[in-house]
Amino acid sequence: MRVLVVDDEPVVRRLLETSLTAWGYEVVAARGGEEAWQILKQDGAPSLGILDWTMPGLDGLELCKRVRALKQPVKPYLIFVTAKARTLDIVTGLGAGADDYIIKPFNRDELRARIQVGVRMLELQAMLAERVRELEEALGRVRQLQGLLPICSYCKKVRDDRNYWQQVETYIEGHSAAQFTHGICPDCREKYVEPELERLRQSRRDDEPPARPSRQVKQ
Amino acid sequence: MADPPVDLAVARRWVGSDRTLLLELVGIFVGEAASRIAELRGALTSRDARELGRLAHSLKSSSGILGAQDLQGLCAALEEVVREKRLEAAPELLARLDAELARVVAFFRDSAWKDRLDGVQP
């Protein structure tokens, strides 16, 4: 996982960078808020950010607000690591959209554990986003069968979106996961099949040679 | 003799057994010391309180990591003075900060500290 580290103080930045690399993260380092903003606003930006608050130019608080105003589907997980330790600072930092807040001097084990919490949150978020995508796709398929469908009153053909008249079963097969297996209902059996069978029997009788007794009469 | 300006146990706590990292951090710190003081003086001369506070805050972080606790305390005091808008107290504090930073840099320039490192328990 890629992690962005933003701190204007080179000693702190290097310490964070080395620690995170040792813990298996791919680190992108920025020297200030403006540089971090250029990185975070791009597509494919690191999914976790460790932000200092007090920096020249664009400070961590403003950076956090800007990132939160972006419209990406999956938001980066942001952790403030700052010496600003008053309760009001913590409330302001979290209020600006940070997910966590660590006070300097920080404990390295605590930082590592809190980053792991962030990773868990991001994984959960990604899993949920994937589920939502799947559900939306399924819902999209169901929606295709909704709405007003023009149907012929006589032959029951249906007019599709491209203005072609189709058999109902062809239309439904094309717009859903349903498939048809053909059969005959009792009403139609009586109405269509029985008369047809009767007609066939009749024509067979007509084709038969004249009954033997009449021939015998002729002879 | 005055106490050493750096508590190596604090520094060891930050870097664990990574001696190379500590040497690198010290290198960065020493290399930037002169420009730090110049920046602090510049901010005070132009009475840029916001910048003065930020620079003090920044130096506080790095001196804390390297175990330069007196220097860290002076940075915190300077930051406090700026926050309370008592800039008249800043020149004296900055002079003390300058002297303390010089002590820290001298400590790290003398390679004897590296030999003591292994005996220090974090």
B30 touches chain A (CB under 8 A): no
Does B15 sit within 8 Å of A15, measured CB to CB? yes
Nearest CA in chain A to B76: A83
Distance separating alpha carbons of residues B36 and A118, to the nearest angstrom: 34
Q: How many contacts does A have with B, using Cβ atoms within 8 A? A: 48
Token pair recorded at residue B43:
């901010």
Nearest by CB to B64, which of A7, A105, A108?
A: A105
Nearest by CB to A11, which of B29, B51, B57?
A: B29
Distance separating alpha carbons of residues A18 and A94, to the nearest angstrom: 26
- Examine the pLDDT at B102 and tell me if it is beyond 70: yes
Average pLDDT, chain B: 92
- Examine the pLDDT at B92 and tell me if it is beyond 80: yes
Does B61 sit within 8 Å of A12, measured CB to CB? yes
Find the range with the poorest average confidence among A9-18, A33-42, A92-101, A167-176: A167-176
- Examine the pLDDT at A183 and tell me if it is beyond 60: yes
Distance separating alpha carbons of residues B68 and B108, to the nearest angstrom: 11
pLDDT at site A216: 53
pLDDT tens-digit series, residues B76-89: 999 999 999 999 99
pLDDT tens-digit series, residues B41-54: 999 999 999 999 99
- Examine the pLDDT at B68 and tell me if it is beyond 60: yes
Compute the average pLDDT of residues B27-50.
95
Q: How far is CA A217 from CA A119, A209, A210, in A?
A: 104, 15, 12
Token pair recorded at residue A67:
């990132």
A210 cis-preceded (ω within 30 degrees of 0): no
Average pLDDT, chain A: 89
pLDDT tens-digit series, residues A205-219: 888 776 666 555 554
pLDDT at site A170: 86
Does A12 sit within 8 Å of B65, measured CB to CB? yes
Strand pairing category for A2-6 and A26-30: parallel
Helices (H) and strands (E) in chain A, counts: 9, 7
> For residues B57-67, b (16+ Cβ closer than 10 Å) or e, as one string?
bbbbbbbbbbb
* pLDDT range class, residue B118, cuts 50, 70, 90: confident
pLDDT tens-digit series, residues A105-144: 888 899 999 999 999 999 999 999 999 999 998 887 776 7
If we measure between CA atoms, which residue out of A114, A35, A128, A14 comes closest to residue A75? A128
* pLDDT range class, residue B18, cuts 50, 70, 90: confident
Q: What is the enclosing helix (H) or strand (E) of A91?
A: helix A87-95
B37 with B75: CB under 8 angstroms? Answer: no
Amino acid at A169: E
User: In this predicted complex, what is the ipTM?
Assistant: 0.89
Distance separating alpha carbons of residues B59 and B62, to the nearest angstrom: 5
- Examine the pLDDT at A66 and tell me if it is beyond 90: yes
pLDDT at site A211: 62
pLDDT at site B45: 95
Whether the model clears a pTM of 0.90, i.e. scores above it, the answer is no
pLDDT at site A173: 83
Compute the average pLDDT of residues A86-110.
93
Nearest by CB to A83, which of B28, B51, B61?
A: B61
Q: Which residues neighbour B96 within 8 Å (Cβ) at sequence distance 6 or greater?
A: B74
| In chain A, % of residues over pLDDT 70 | 95
